[in-house]
Structure 1
Amino acid sequence: MTASARPDLAARARTLLDLHTAPEILTLANVWDVVSAQVVSATPGAKALATASHSIAATFGYQDGENIPLELHLDMVRRIVQATTLPVSMDLESGYGHPGETARKAIEAGVVGGNLEDAMKPLDEAVAAVKAVLAAGRSAGIEFVLNARTDALVKADPAAPRQEVLDEAIRRSQAFLEAGAPVVFIPRLAARDEIETVVNALGRGKLTLIGIPGVSLPASELEKLGVARLSTGPFTQRVALTALQDAAAALFAGGMLPADTRALN
């Protein structure tokens, strides 16, 4: 069944958009397979799901950065969509060379939102990619919730003046908002004063961030600052793998698995 034939798809897209524009911050624990999606979906407070491309790639033994074949990536995302009643946002990476077509395939899989990296391409190319993804949503009859990502901080020259880097992130983010993206994503933005600067430039409810363990402000503080969304990227999978490695180390040292282990699968 195509996405345009599914009556629930537009409703899920509207729900996801409403969650991004609500006064309360949308907090997402990113998932990477069916069982992680089921566990997060069943956790009180879960309102939507977001996939993590890094984590899905790692699940199949690939490095992040569009190294996993798109069809394999989409197959896992499709399985995640089928495992939940919550709206799902997919990490589209940079669009696999054809952002609009990749978004169309994601929507056919049941996805109603997604991240799209600009990879610091020329701004006109990055804006065109944003428009292509949004057009794919309109063609499918939904308001696709695009979280337009700029890598201005990720790819910045370490020697560059910080204010220049922030200004470039703001410039690109404003261009994506003007092109129709409802929210923008700036990875590695974590300092309170810098977040305040960006929110003042973009407006409240337009910025999304990734939560970095031991670095980022808690969701409650980000909400006060006007941040729309907080996700976790690959870090939720790393939490799970850390627990696995710690349990294995204890077991190999002559101990047992944790007594408080829950039957979540």
Structure 2
Amino acid sequence: MGADGADLKDRAEKLRELHTGEMLVLPNVWDAASAEIVAEAGFPVVATASNAIAAMLGYPDGESAPWQDMFAAAGRIARAVSLPVTVDAEAGYGMQPRELVDRLLGIGAVGCNLEDTDHRAGGLLDADAQAEWLAAVRSAADDAGVPVVINARVDTFLPTSGIHDADRVAEAVRRGRLYRDAGADCIYPIGVRDKGDVATLVAELPGPVNGNTGDSLDLATLRELGVARVSYGPRFYRAALGRLKAGVQELLAQDVAATGPRLQ
């Protein structure tokens, strides 16, 4: 289902509006079939998971898969539904802001996750440089006439960040404020597991905050804390593979029971 410029603009505006009302829940997808399932279930937005798409393509996460393959997969997802689609664009694949925006719009996406992990050097990108880059992405989207929704990921809670545990909340707030000032629509401190940390981040960060469910953070708790958006990353992809594995193991057991063990 292709979308013209006016349609993309409408979808982007709708996606942005959905960050200010009832909590936006995003069960992330990895292909056209999973996108159609999410759309048919009644969710208002389809979001991709880079980890799941990369794994489907045979690559590890973290910009290891060729961006051409990642965008081609996301494009198939966008064409399969008539909803706003937001793409996990990792750290932007080294693209210049104009190219990134043009390629997102070219595949029919109206939103993106952009993370501040440096996949080449390791650790986190310089926060001021990342804010400057996000501002350029916002400017490029404005020039294109489509208010692309930027979900700026803050990776201070990830083990690869190099940030000491005691400093993670403060650094996430510092980075999130910079990114919000640069034009990000939503701030995504990924990997937060503590309820108190989530509450602090929601209170300290201006604008919508993206959260994740966990052992002590169900949807009701996140809603109560004021989280605006919840995403699941590769969780449903991994669950689907888990069900496939269980199914084929059961099938193999039935086959062995009927015919006897196979010679190796």
Query: So what's the TM-score if we normalise by structure 2?
Result: 0.88
Whichever residue aligns with residue 141 of structure 1, its letter is G
Alignment of 1:1-265 (within 5 A): 5-22=4-21, 24-44=22-42, 46-100=43-97, 101-119=99-117, 120-154=124-158, 155-157=160-162, 160-162=164-166, 164-203=167-206, 206-212=208-214, 215=215, 217-254=217-254
Whichever residue aligns with residue 103 of structure 1, its letter is V
Deviation of the 1:254 alpha carbon:
1.1
Whichever residue aligns with residue 101 of structure 2, its letter is A
Mapped partners of 1:206, 1:248: distance in 2: 42
RMSD: 1.7
What secondary structure is seen at the aligned counterpart in 2 of 1:82? helix
Equivalent in the alignment of 1:263: none
110-119 or 244-253: which moved more?
244-253
Mapped partners of 1:110, 1:140: distance in 2: 13
Contact 1:170 1:201 in 2 (8 A): yes
Mapped partners of 1:32, 1:218: distance in 2: 23
Mapped partners of 1:118, 1:156: distance in 2: 9
Contact 2:211 2:222 in 1 (8 A): no
Contact 2:128 2:178 in 1 (8 A): no
Contact 1:199 1:207 in 2 (8 A): yes
Gaps of 5+ in 2: 118-123, 256-264
Q: Over alpha carbons, which structure has the higher Rg?
A: 2
Deviation of the 1:253 alpha carbon:
1.5
Contact 1:156 1:165 in 2 (8 A): no
* C-alpha spacing 1:89/1:99, structure 2 compared with 1 (3 Å): farther
* Structure 1 stretches of at least 4 aligned residues deviating more than 4 Å after TM superposition: none
Whichever residue aligns with residue 9 of structure 1, its letter is L
- Cα deviation, 1:50-99, whole Å, max 9, x if unaligned, reads 00111111111011111111111111111111100110000110011125
Contact 2:39 2:46 in 1 (8 A): yes
Gaps of 5+ in 1: 256-265
Mapped partners of 1:157, 1:216: distance in 2: 25
Query: So what's the TM-score if we normalise by structure 1?
Result: 0.88
- Cα deviation, 1:171-227, whole Å, max 9, x if unaligned, reads 000111111111110111121111111111114x52102334xx2511122111110
Mapped partners of 2:213, 2:101: distance in 1: 25
Contact 1:48 1:88 in 2 (8 A): yes
